[in-house]
Structure 1
Amino acid sequence: MLVLSRKAGETIWIGEEVEIVISEVKGDQVKIGIRAPRNIDIIRGELRGDVSTSNIEAVIQNLDILISEK
């Protein structure tokens, strides 16, 4: 893991297409902006596990439906 220190107004680039902008630092909260092409999915870390679980549950339900129809 790369750990960087940044101040408000400073940026971080990921590759040639993704720019992370530190917009505000207030106490223990940091507000960031992300400039990226629309084809790149951006999701908060705490939601990523929830989305994966929901996707797995949807696949299992579809498999159950297909199996019960045979």
Structure 2
Amino acid sequence: MLVLTRKAGESVIIGDNIVVTVLEARGDVIRIGIQAPRDVQVHREEVYRELQAANREAASPAEESVQALTDSLRPTPRPD
């Protein structure tokens, strides 16, 4: 992990097109501004983790749903 010291108004540049600027520091609260291209997603960590959990849950169907789908795809025997 890179650790830097910055004062209000100073920035850090990530890659060629992401700029993180310290806007204000008041006690334990730091306000930062992030300039990034629209195609770069920027989330607070807790929001990012919630999104990951929701995506994992949506991608793994319940066992009952899988069994119901399997049963519906089985050919039904024809009466003779």
TM > 0.5: yes
Give 4+ residue runs of structure 1 displaced > 3 Å after superposition. 62-67
Task: Quote the residue 1:7 is aligned against.
Answer: 7
Please identify, of 42-51 and 16-25, the stretch whose mean Cα deviation from structure 2 is larger.
42-51
Higher relative contact order (CA 8 A, sep 6+): 1
Q: TM (normalized to structure 2)?
A: 0.77
The answer for unaligned runs of 5 or more in structure 1 is none
Task: Quote the residue 1:57 is aligned against.
Answer: 57
Q: Closer, same or farther in 2 for the Cα pair 1:11/1:63, shift >3 Å?
A: farther
Amino acid at match of 2:68: S
Task: Quote the residue 1:16 is aligned against.
Answer: 16
Task: Quote the residue 1:30 is aligned against.
Answer: 30
Output the CA distance in 1 between the equivalents of 2:61 and 2:40: 28
The answer for unaligned runs of 5 or more in structure 2 is 71-80
For the pair shown, the structure with the greater C-alpha radius of gyration is: 2
Output the CA distance in 2 between the equivalents of 1:49 and 1:13: 24
Q: How many residues align?
A: 70
Task: Quote the residue 2:78 is aligned against.
Answer: none
Over the matched positions of the two proteins, sequence identity in percent amounts to 36
